[in-house]
Amino acid sequence: MTAATLTHLQRLEAESIHILREVVAECERPVMLYSIGKDSAVMLHLARKAFFPAPPPFPLLHIDTTWKFKAMYAERDRVAAENGMTLIVHVNPQAQARGINPFDHGALHTDLWKTQGLKQALDHHGFDAAFGGARRDEEKSRAKERVFSFRTATHRWDPKNQRPELWNLYNARKAAGETIRVFPLSNWTELDVWQYIAREKIALVPLYFAAPRPTVERDGTLLMVDDDRFRLAPGERPVDRWVRFRTLGCYPLTGAVESRATTLDAIIDEMRVARTSERQGRAVDRDAGAASLERKKQEGYF
Amino acid sequence: MVAAPADIAADASWRDRDQGLLRFIACGSVDDGKSTLIGRLLHDTKALFEDQLADLAAESKAVGTQGEAIDFALLVDGLAAEREQGITIDVAYRFFATERRTFIVADAPGHEQYTRNMVTGASTADLAVILVDARKGVLTQTRRHSYLAQLLGIRQFVLAVNKMDLVDYDRATFDAIVADYRPFADGIGIGAVAALPISAFRGDTAVARSAAMPWYDGPTLIEHLEGVPLAADRDQARPFRLPVQGVSRPDLDFRGFAGLIAAGSVRPGDAVRVVPSGRTSTVARIVTADGDLDAAVAGQSVTLTLADAIDCSRGDVIAAAGDPPMAADQFEATVVWLAEEDLLPGRSYWLKLATQTVAATLQPPKYKVNVNTLDRLAARTLDLNAIGVATLATDRPLVFEPYADSRTLGGFILIDRLTNATVGAGMLNFALRRAQNVHRQPVEVGREVRAALKNQTPKVLWFTGISGAGKSTIANLVEKKLVRMNRHTFLLDGDNVRHGLNRDLGFTDADRIENIRRVGEVARLMADAGLIVITAFISPFRAERDLVRQMMAPGEFVEVHIDTPLADAERRDVKGLYAKARAGRLANFTGIDSPYEVPPAPEIRIDTTALDAEAAAERIVRYLIP
């Protein structure tokens, strides 16, 4: 039999499935972080394939900030109902009580809702491994992140004290209280993700496809006015523009790109000639200089 | 179902172009222009975005070393700590793609951690790009990089002679460097080497052809990388191997064996053998979420069902029935040490190979390799970044293939049992003894029967503590009290055992470990015989005490820490040993120049400043017989 070269997507898929299965074999209480975005959609799809015909043997966890796009909440509830998987939604009660929001609180918004919220949920449920959809091509400090990334009992990440990962051998052993963040999509690029979504016909939040949406422009960033909590500046008025999103988060912090790409093929064609990275639209990475994301990761951000 | 025309068109265009995924490693020192080359490949294949370039340009001005020009090293040196100190401490992975192929490049930076980083990056690579500065030629590190890449199983090499622009694109310079490298490459078993003259800074022969070097008519670096055969394709031609990751049992009717195919191909109806049990069956189905497959090949993650209900679980390997891998429990292995703390010969480490995890011990190395000269040196241990060859024994048979045949079934990691750190990586060269025919002798009269005859529950009372703490004194009192209560006991004392069973052992760390291992084995046999065993040994290391604990039945091992302040023990100095050690006439003395690792959670802790020997013995007996 002559060798049939596997496509790069087949290779990436097989390696991600291998990672998902290793965690389930070696950890006690895994959970999958589900953020409703395209990477989460791909990760969930891979989990279904990895354990078929059984359902994935772990719940989904959404760390909610109450500030996601309305369309994201609709998609989340649809996915949960369709899969029959347990969906845990965690809302940080302290952030809620203090009314933390992206307009008044800047970096505190991300810290309290997401970083602290995530730690609370992991501690409360006793999860010892959490799958996340981060990729090494996203950002410089992610390029050196391990597939299995260990956190102390206080959820801190020590970039100087990570385990070497040789071949596809993952050492999942850990002391009581320590947890692992596992990134099955480590070796995928943004283009791989889109190509895979097209190949596998994975459903996505409609926000990824271009449509006329009410937006305002601030400091060169297009923000969508998704509900009436959006604070308009005096004289500022939302304008309908054809936009889509390359990455999704809290709507007041997520920049749109002008686009007419209404299909996956059109998006992939735009990707091939894209000149800016997807994280460019995320204010969260840039709020404290070049090493901002690295610092957040040390503090426990995903 | 009718697919949208756009879907079909898009799908077909990728499949035609997709020549798979190539992983490679770029090796070179800072000055060889490795970062510049990687930056060049990313830039010219449009893998860099404008905002990333803008960030890079701003950083280059602020902290770069290239004046106004873009410093590509900043792109590759990811972490803030590294950038501030100007060093890189880890392997980074970069991604780019051409119309034909997708690439993952491992960037393993230099400096003192080089070996550890490079073996990590090379372990998954199909190809190595060895960078040489055209002005300097083949250097010591060129040889070191080539040796390490070859050691980790890379069989395709590119010798990239960089900075050709700085030698006026001179052909003779290039030819001389190639002629210098070839005999070395042949000498360490590197087969084909593709030599390319390039300038990463100017872009010559990297992605585009160079007008400055009309004398070079070979491929560009990208063309070469697009065309080389993939290791995964080569693996498809080997006999079938599926290390089982897990068993899928969604209901009583389905039993599927999940794993990533390491080698070969499989079809329904194929005869397979489960190793190490040796049972045979045939493949019934190849199950995936997209429907059953007619065939699957190396590199695919699948779930197989078998025609017969045979035992098979995580760690087993499903293999071609006519050509299965062997199982063995003693090997010669090449080991790379990755931890700050030296290898301890004789200590038990976890060994993970494919989906098998076993306990393993290493003998002192036969030799270690000087990676700069490739000389073999005598060694008693391996320290950080050292590479050595040693005999390795596992506590149960390991299904394996020599690393030269299979990275998956020949490559392993070693894990410290206390810290859980990955402390070593290794490659199995060959088995020293096949384990298939070694079975334990089953016995008719079991330990329960023997214990019941004595009307007691066997225990191992393991006294630990520094010299002069009072272990032997208290242990003697405990035994006397137990005998008075008609219990059957045996006291193993450190000094006495060293006169007999262990008289060949000294006091180095390795000998201390072996001392405790032997005593543990003897204690286990005595506990099997139904006795209450009392041992009095310093046993300074947690790892060995825990090892002995794991030899025993659950609850059988009782750790008794005789806790005395060092100053008290030294003041009493019953045997005069502390005085000798202080005078430098006794080496490796626990508490003086050899560490004592305090038990974090012993079953019993005796504070000798609060209890006298009699009261201590009473407390220990009360623990056993309340």
Inspect the interface and report whether the beta carbons of A6 and B248 lie closer than 8 Å: no
Neighboring chain A residues of B266 at a CB cutoff of 8 Å: none
Is A279 in contact with B49 (CB distance < 8 Å)? no
Is B541 in contact with B597 (CB distance < 8 Å)? yes
Average pLDDT (B252-277) is 95
Give the H or E element holding residue B23.
strand B21-27
Higher pLDDT, A13 or B63: A13
CA dist., res. B275 & res. B318, Å (int): 6
pLDDT tens digits, one per residue of A185-211: 999 998 899 999 999 999 999 999 999
- Maximum average pLDDT range among A103-107, A117-121, B145-149, B333-337: B333-337
Residue of B nearest to A192 (CA): B102
Residue B241, chain A, CB below 8 Å: the answer is no
Determine the 3-state secondary structure of B55 from DSSP.
helix
pLDDT at B85 over 80: no
Inspect the interface and report whether the beta carbons of A54 and B350 lie closer than 8 Å: no
- Angstrom distances, CA of residue B422 to CA of A149, A156, B243, B419: 13, 19, 21, 9
By Cβ distance, the residue of A144, A173, A276 closest to B92 is A144
Q: Which amino acid is at B85?
A: Q
Q: Of the candidates B106, B89, B98, B103, which has an alpha carbon nearest to the alpha carbon of residue B26?
A: B106
By Cβ distance, the residue of A25, A167, A199 closest to B407 is A167
Q: What pLDDT does residue B111 have?
A: 59
By Cβ distance, the residue of B93, B97, B246 closest to A136 is B93
Residue A125, chain B, CB below 8 Å: the answer is no
Interface subset of B 167-196, CB within 8 angstroms of A: none
By Cβ distance, the residue of B9, B21, B51 closest to A8 is B21
Is B470 in contact with B487 (CB distance < 8 Å)? no
pLDDT tens digits, one per residue of A112-132: 888 889 999 999 999 999 999
Q: Compute the mean pLDDT over every residue in chain A, rounded to the nearest whole number.
A: 87
Any idea which of A62-66, B58-62, B270-274, B414-418 has the lowest mean pLDDT?
B58-62
Write the CB contacts of B598 (distance below 8 Å, at least 6 apart in sequence). B561, B563
pTM: 0.80
Q: What pLDDT does residue B14 have?
A: 43
Give the gyration radius of chain B's Cα atoms: 31
The pLDDT confidence band at residue A285, using thresholds 50, 70 and 90, is very low
Q: What pLDDT does residue A284 have?
A: 47
pLDDT tens digits, one per residue of B283-299: 999 999 999 999 999 99
Any idea which of B109-118, B248-257, B305-314 has the lowest mean pLDDT?
B109-118
Write the CB contacts of B4 (distance below 8 Å, at least 6 apart in sequence). none
Residue whose token pair is 């098998």: B356
Neighboring chain A residues of B295 at a CB cutoff of 8 Å: 1
Q: Compute the mean pLDDT over every residue in chain B, rounded to the nearest whole number.
A: 87
Residue of B nearest to A200 (CA): B290
Residue whose token pair is 């299909």: A263
The pLDDT confidence band at residue A280, using thresholds 50, 70 and 90, is low
pLDDT tens digits, one per residue of A163-190: 899 999 999 999 888 899 999 999 999 8
Average pLDDT (B375-387) is 92
Share of chain A above pLDDT 90, in %: 54
B313 noted as active-site residue:
no
Strands B356-362, B367-369: pairing is unpaired
Q: What pLDDT does residue A139 have?
A: 75
The C-alpha of A198 sits at a distance from chain B's nearest C-alpha, in angstroms, of 8
Half-sphere CA count of A283, side-chain side, radius 13 A: 21
Q: At what angle do helices A8-26 and A38-51 cross, to 10 degrees?
A: 70
Is B126 in contact with B227 (CB distance < 8 Å)? no
